[in-house]
Chains A and B, each alone.
Chain A
Amino acid sequence: SQELEQSPQSLIVQEGKNLTINCTSSKTLYGLYWYKQKYGEGLIFLMMLQKGGEEKSHEKITAKLDEKKQQSSLHITASQPSHAGIYLCGADSGTSYGKLTFGQGTILTVHP
Protein backbone atom coordinates (compact mmCIF):
# COMPACT_ATOMS: atom_id res chain seq x y z
CA SER A 1 0.00 0.00 0.00
CA GLN A 2 1.08 3.56 -0.56
CA GLU A 3 2.67 5.38 2.35
CA LEU A 4 3.11 9.11 2.76
CA GLU A 5 5.76 10.51 5.07
CA GLN A 6 5.61 14.14 6.13
CA SER A 7 8.42 16.21 7.55
CA PRO A 8 8.81 17.85 9.90
CA GLN A 9 6.22 16.39 12.27
CA SER A 10 5.91 19.74 14.00
CA LEU A 11 7.12 23.24 13.34
CA ILE A 12 7.20 26.39 15.46
CA VAL A 13 7.94 29.66 13.72
CA GLN A 14 7.79 33.35 14.44
CA GLU A 15 5.21 35.38 12.57
CA GLY A 16 6.62 36.65 9.29
CA LYS A 17 8.99 33.72 8.74
CA ASN A 18 8.89 31.43 5.73
CA LEU A 19 8.55 27.69 6.14
CA THR A 20 8.39 24.47 4.12
CA ILE A 21 6.61 21.17 4.77
CA ASN A 22 7.53 18.08 2.77
CA CYS A 23 5.53 15.02 1.78
CA THR A 24 7.25 11.95 0.34
CA SER A 25 5.44 9.00 -1.18
CA SER A 26 6.59 5.37 -1.23
CA LYS A 27 5.00 4.95 -4.67
CA THR A 28 4.31 6.96 -7.79
CA LEU A 29 2.06 9.90 -7.15
CA TYR A 30 -1.00 10.11 -9.39
CA GLY A 31 -2.38 13.06 -7.53
CA LEU A 32 -1.23 14.82 -4.39
CA TYR A 33 -3.58 16.84 -2.22
CA TRP A 34 -2.91 19.28 0.57
CA TYR A 35 -5.40 19.82 3.37
CA LYS A 36 -5.36 22.03 6.45
CA GLN A 37 -6.99 21.19 9.76
CA LYS A 38 -7.72 23.56 12.61
CA TYR A 39 -7.95 22.07 16.07
CA GLY A 40 -11.35 20.51 16.69
CA GLU A 41 -12.45 20.89 13.09
CA GLY A 42 -12.44 18.90 9.92
CA LEU A 43 -10.00 19.19 7.06
CA ILE A 44 -10.17 21.95 4.49
CA PHE A 45 -8.95 21.32 0.95
CA LEU A 46 -6.10 23.64 -0.08
CA MET A 47 -4.94 22.47 -3.48
CA MET A 48 -4.18 19.50 -5.68
CA LEU A 49 -1.16 18.70 -7.85
CA GLN A 50 -1.15 16.14 -10.63
CA LYS A 51 1.71 16.76 -13.02
CA GLY A 52 5.41 16.56 -12.32
CA GLY A 53 6.83 20.02 -11.84
CA GLU A 54 3.39 21.50 -11.29
CA GLU A 55 3.25 24.43 -8.88
CA LYS A 56 0.14 26.06 -7.46
CA SER A 57 -0.44 28.95 -5.11
CA HIS A 58 -3.27 29.98 -2.84
CA GLU A 59 -2.73 33.32 -1.12
CA LYS A 60 0.66 32.93 0.59
CA ILE A 61 0.77 29.13 0.31
CA THR A 62 2.59 27.49 -2.61
CA ALA A 63 2.74 23.77 -3.31
CA LYS A 64 4.93 21.95 -5.80
CA LEU A 65 5.05 18.38 -7.04
CA ASP A 66 8.35 16.78 -7.90
CA GLU A 67 7.15 13.64 -9.63
CA LYS A 68 10.58 12.09 -10.07
CA LYS A 69 11.24 12.24 -6.38
CA GLN A 70 7.68 11.26 -5.53
CA GLN A 71 7.65 14.27 -3.29
CA SER A 72 5.64 17.42 -2.76
CA SER A 73 6.50 20.53 -0.79
CA LEU A 74 4.22 23.13 0.76
CA HIS A 75 5.77 26.55 1.28
CA ILE A 76 4.28 29.35 3.33
CA THR A 77 5.64 32.85 2.81
CA ALA A 78 5.53 35.43 5.60
CA SER A 79 3.62 33.17 7.99
CA GLN A 80 0.74 34.52 10.06
CA PRO A 81 -1.03 33.17 13.15
CA SER A 82 -3.95 32.26 10.85
CA HIS A 83 -1.68 29.72 9.15
CA ALA A 84 -1.42 27.69 12.35
CA GLY A 85 -2.94 24.22 12.26
CA ILE A 86 -2.22 20.74 11.00
CA TYR A 87 -1.24 20.30 7.37
CA LEU A 88 -1.84 16.92 5.79
CA CYS A 89 -0.91 15.60 2.41
CA GLY A 90 -3.09 12.97 0.76
CA ALA A 91 -2.69 10.79 -2.31
CA ASP A 92 -4.81 8.80 -4.66
CA SER A 93 -3.38 5.31 -5.19
CA GLY A 94 -4.26 5.39 -8.86
CA THR A 95 -5.22 1.73 -8.76
CA SER A 96 -7.91 1.32 -6.12
CA TYR A 97 -10.88 3.57 -6.66
CA GLY A 98 -11.81 5.37 -3.49
CA LYS A 99 -8.78 4.46 -1.40
CA LEU A 100 -7.05 7.66 -0.40
CA THR A 101 -3.96 7.71 1.79
CA PHE A 102 -2.89 10.55 4.09
CA GLY A 103 0.38 11.45 5.70
CA GLN A 104 0.64 11.74 9.47
CA GLY A 105 0.36 15.51 9.40
CA THR A 106 2.60 18.46 10.31
CA ILE A 107 1.60 20.60 13.26
CA LEU A 108 2.37 24.25 12.59
CA THR A 109 2.51 26.84 15.37
CA VAL A 110 3.01 30.50 14.50
CA HIS A 111 3.96 32.83 17.33
CA PRO A 112 2.87 36.46 16.97
Chain B
Amino acid sequence: NAGVTQTPKFQVLKTGQSMTLQCAQDMNHEYMSWYRQDPGMGLRLIHYSVGAGITDQGEVPNGYNVSRSTTEDFPLRLLSAAPSQTSVYFCASSSSGTQSENSPLHFGNGTRLTVT
Protein backbone atom coordinates (compact mmCIF):
# COMPACT_ATOMS: atom_id res chain seq x y z
CA ASN B 1 0.00 0.00 0.00
CA ALA B 2 2.21 2.83 -1.29
CA GLY B 3 -0.43 5.59 -1.15
CA VAL B 4 1.08 8.95 -2.11
CA THR B 5 4.79 8.87 -2.87
CA GLN B 6 6.90 12.00 -3.06
CA THR B 7 10.47 12.25 -4.28
CA PRO B 8 12.98 13.46 -3.36
CA LYS B 9 12.66 13.74 0.43
CA PHE B 10 15.30 16.46 0.66
CA GLN B 11 16.69 18.86 -1.92
CA VAL B 12 19.06 21.82 -1.88
CA LEU B 13 19.03 24.21 -4.83
CA LYS B 14 20.87 27.34 -5.72
CA THR B 15 18.94 30.43 -6.71
CA GLY B 16 17.93 30.24 -10.35
CA GLN B 17 18.12 26.47 -10.66
CA SER B 18 15.15 24.47 -11.82
CA MET B 19 13.81 21.18 -10.57
CA THR B 20 10.75 18.97 -10.49
CA LEU B 21 9.17 17.54 -7.37
CA GLN B 22 7.59 14.22 -8.14
CA CYS B 23 4.28 12.96 -6.78
CA ALA B 24 2.62 9.66 -7.59
CA GLN B 25 -0.43 7.95 -6.14
CA ASP B 26 -1.65 4.41 -6.68
CA MET B 27 -5.21 4.80 -5.41
CA ASN B 28 -6.75 5.90 -8.71
CA HIS B 29 -7.66 9.26 -7.17
CA GLU B 30 -8.98 11.92 -9.49
CA TYR B 31 -8.07 14.86 -7.26
CA MET B 32 -4.46 15.79 -6.54
CA SER B 33 -2.93 18.90 -5.04
CA TRP B 34 0.28 20.53 -3.93
CA TYR B 35 0.72 22.45 -0.69
CA ARG B 36 3.62 24.23 0.88
CA GLN B 37 4.07 24.36 4.64
CA ASP B 38 5.89 27.22 6.29
CA PRO B 39 6.28 27.90 10.03
CA GLY B 40 3.25 29.68 11.46
CA MET B 41 1.41 29.67 8.15
CA GLY B 42 -0.06 26.21 7.97
CA LEU B 43 -0.58 24.63 4.57
CA ARG B 44 -1.09 26.85 1.55
CA LEU B 45 -2.47 25.47 -1.68
CA ILE B 46 -0.20 25.93 -4.71
CA HIS B 47 -1.96 24.09 -7.54
CA TYR B 48 -4.53 21.38 -7.80
CA SER B 49 -6.02 19.04 -10.37
CA VAL B 50 -9.46 17.47 -10.53
CA GLY B 51 -8.45 14.96 -13.19
CA ALA B 52 -5.97 14.16 -15.93
CA GLY B 53 -5.49 17.15 -18.22
CA ILE B 54 -7.12 19.59 -15.79
CA THR B 55 -5.19 21.87 -13.43
CA ASP B 56 -5.95 25.09 -11.61
CA GLN B 57 -4.22 27.59 -9.41
CA GLY B 58 -4.43 27.66 -5.67
CA GLU B 59 -3.56 30.37 -3.19
CA VAL B 60 0.17 30.73 -3.97
CA PRO B 61 0.81 29.58 -7.57
CA ASN B 62 3.51 32.07 -8.62
CA GLY B 63 6.85 30.46 -9.45
CA TYR B 64 5.37 26.99 -9.84
CA ASN B 65 4.05 25.02 -12.81
CA VAL B 66 2.12 21.77 -12.88
CA SER B 67 0.75 19.34 -15.41
CA ARG B 68 -1.41 16.23 -15.12
CA SER B 69 -0.89 13.91 -18.04
CA THR B 70 -1.91 10.78 -16.13
CA THR B 71 -4.20 10.06 -13.20
CA GLU B 72 -1.26 8.74 -11.16
CA ASP B 73 1.28 11.56 -11.47
CA PHE B 74 1.22 15.24 -10.59
CA PRO B 75 4.70 16.80 -10.77
CA LEU B 76 5.46 20.29 -9.47
CA ARG B 77 8.04 22.31 -11.38
CA LEU B 78 10.14 25.17 -10.10
CA LEU B 79 11.48 26.95 -13.19
CA SER B 80 13.84 29.36 -11.42
CA ALA B 81 14.17 28.67 -7.72
CA ALA B 82 14.17 31.56 -5.25
CA PRO B 83 15.02 31.61 -1.52
CA SER B 84 11.34 32.41 -0.83
CA GLN B 85 10.52 28.94 -2.11
CA THR B 86 12.39 27.30 0.75
CA SER B 87 9.67 25.23 2.36
CA VAL B 88 8.27 21.77 2.92
CA TYR B 89 6.11 20.64 0.02
CA PHE B 90 3.28 18.17 0.37
CA CYS B 91 1.38 16.37 -2.32
CA ALA B 92 -2.10 15.11 -1.52
CA SER B 93 -4.80 13.16 -3.28
CA SER B 94 -8.38 12.11 -2.76
CA SER B 95 -11.13 10.45 -4.70
CA SER B 96 -13.05 13.72 -4.69
CA GLY B 97 -12.24 17.43 -4.59
CA THR B 98 -15.06 17.82 -2.09
CA GLN B 99 -13.85 16.19 1.03
CA SER B 100 -15.84 13.71 3.04
CA GLU B 101 -15.07 10.97 5.51
CA ASN B 102 -15.13 8.56 2.61
CA SER B 103 -12.69 10.65 0.59
CA PRO B 104 -10.30 12.51 2.89
CA LEU B 105 -7.03 13.87 1.62
CA HIS B 106 -4.14 11.39 1.62
CA PHE B 107 -0.79 13.09 2.03
CA GLY B 108 2.71 12.15 1.00
CA ASN B 109 5.56 12.49 3.51
CA GLY B 110 6.78 15.73 2.01
CA THR B 111 9.83 17.15 0.26
CA ARG B 112 12.00 19.51 2.27
CA LEU B 113 13.44 22.08 -0.15
CA THR B 114 16.14 24.61 0.65
CA VAL B 115 17.06 27.33 -1.84
CA THR B 116 20.33 29.14 -1.14
Chain A positions within 8 Å of B, measured between CB atoms, are: 1, 4, 6, 9, 31, 33, 35, 40-45, 47-48, 88, 90, 92, 97-105
Contact = CB atoms under 8 A, between A and B. Distances in A.
A105 B44 CA distance: 12
A72 B108 CA distance: 26
Interface of B: 4, 31, 33, 35, 40-45, 48-50, 56, 58-59, 90, 92, 97-101, 104-110
A45 B42 contact: no
A102 B35 CA distance: 10
Contacts of A35: 105, 107
Contact of A42 (B31, B45, B108): B108
B48 to A, nearest CB: 5
A15 to B, nearest CB: 26
A41 B110 CA distance: 7
A42 B4 contact: yes
B59 A97 contact: no
B101 A48 contact: yes
Contacts of A41: 109-110
Nearest to B102: A48
Given A31-B99, A99-B48, A103-B42, 10 more contacts: A33-B104, A41-B109, A42-B4, A42-B107, A43-B92, A43-B107, A45-B106, A98-B49, A98-B50, A101-B45
